[in-house]
Amino acid sequence: MPRTREYRHGELVAEDFPVAEVPERLRGDGVTLWVDLCGPSTDELPALAAELGLHALAVEDALHPHERPKLHQYETHCFLTAYATRLDEQGALVTAELSAFVTRHALVTVRTDDRFDMGLVVDRWEESPTLARSGVGYLAHGLLDCVVDSHFEAVQALDEQIESLEDMVFADQPDTVAVQRRSLALRRSLVTLRRVVLPMREVVSGLMRRDQDIVDAPLMPYYQDVYDHVLRAGEWTESLREVVATIRETQLSLQGNRLNLVMKKVTGWAAIVAVPTAITGFYGQNVPFPGTGETWGFWLSAALMLVASASLYLLFKRRDWL
């Protein structure tokens, strides 16, 4: 069901009234309305758009999902698209698309589904009722603040997962396949998050422009705070992408170092084993040689093997080859 609210001179006077009453309620003095449509039909939004004078292209974008985050200015209103984010139980990034029409006296939000909880936005409005006198800018601020907060929560959760990935990389016996899968999954989530976070700079800064006449002086510090959070979320996302790339490079470097260490040890033991093999091969010839058939020949060969092997072992150990 659509959700509605009416503010009159900064005071909440009505809730959950029919959408059909919107044109009549807008005729009042000092009125600000909010209309939320979740999964609207092909007739519901165009009918409201005709009453509010919304542009046909903006209505088309609101009805067709998978638009990029943006802010478009039309003659009578602004149209914005944004994405709220969260991590699911498997740690994958989930986005919820949201469109909004910002007119002079009304905010119309359109959602394709209920993945974005508008109750959070309503709670945000309830936390600062004194700002309601600022009109539609007050409603737009609460909406954008919740969206940007979801970006921060997603970035923080991804940061924690990256820290656990670092622990996996430097484990004594790392699971290479698991590390590769997690690093690629995190990189994919960060790429998606970057696509929805970075364009929010233009959205917030566009609403803050003075020629829009949406943000008044009391609201300007609050919008500046949201804009600062947008910048921090974008910078944090970029830094995490670099960290994931560094982790991948570190993993490959560690694998190369472990392989070199194994090859070094195998080569050292092969050299130690080669000496007894050479001695026994020499004394295994089918031709006469000194010590053939003599007891001292056996003890001489055994002593040579022990001394040569022990010498090589001590030499390799001293040089950290074993």
The last residue of a domain, from among 254, 280, 303: 254
Cα–Cα distance measured from residue 294 to residue 33, given in angstroms and rounded to the nearest whole number: 111
| pLDDT value of residue 64 | 86
Strands across the sheet with 70-73, in order?
Answer: 11-15, 3-8, 31-38, 106-111, 93-102, 78-87, 70-73
Instruction: Read off the DSSP letter of residue 68.
Output: P
Q: State how far the alpha carbon of 158 is from the alpha carbons of 102, 143, 164, 190, 232, in Å.
A: 32, 23, 10, 8, 15
Task: Based on the fold, state whether residues 239 and 95 are members of the same structural domain.
Answer: yes
Q: Are residues 274 and 206 in the same domain?
A: no
Question: 314 and 229, same structural domain?
Answer: no
CA quadruple 104, 98, 25, 128: dihedral sign: negative
Task: Please say whether the beta carbons of 138 and 222 come within 8 A.
Answer: no
Q: Give the CA radius of gyration of the chain.
A: 35
The pLDDT of residue 291 is 66
- Residues 150 and 269 occupy one common structural domain: no
222 SS3 class: helix
Query: 176 with 241, same domain?
Result: yes
φ, ψ (nearest 5 deg) of residue 170: -95, 15
Please give the single-letter amino acid code of residue 258: R
* Alpha carbon separation from 218 to 3, 127, 130, 137, 267 (Å, rounded): 27, 16, 10, 10, 75
Residue 43, token pair as written in the block: 């007739």
Looking at the structure, tell me whether residues 116 and 27 fall in a common domain.
Answer: yes
Which domain range does residue 183 map to? 3-254
What whole-number distance in Å separates Cα of residue 52 and Cα of residue 108?
10
3-class DSSP state of 102 = strand
Residue 144 has what pLDDT? 96
Which one-letter amino acid corresponds to residue 313? Answer: Y
Residues 68 and 17 in one domain: yes
Both 281 and 233 in one domain: the answer is no
Say yes or no: 17 and 40 in one domain.
Answer: yes
Pick the closest to residue 104 from 128, 78, 124 (CA basis).
78
- Provide the domain count of the chain: 2
CATH number at 146 reads 3.30.460.20
* Domain end among 238, 254, 270: 254
Same structural domain, 245 and 279: no
End-to-end CA distance of the chain: 73
Mean pLDDT (10-residue bins), the chain, 322 residues: 91 92 88 92 86 92 88 93 89 91 94 90 92 93 95 92 85 78 88 93 90 88 95 92 86 78 80 79 68 72 82 78 68
User: What is the model's pTM?
Assistant: 0.79
Is 239 found in the same domain as 159? yes
**Whether residue 232 sits in one domain with residue 309:** no
Model pLDDT, residue 283: 67
Residue at a domain's end among 236, 254, 272: 254
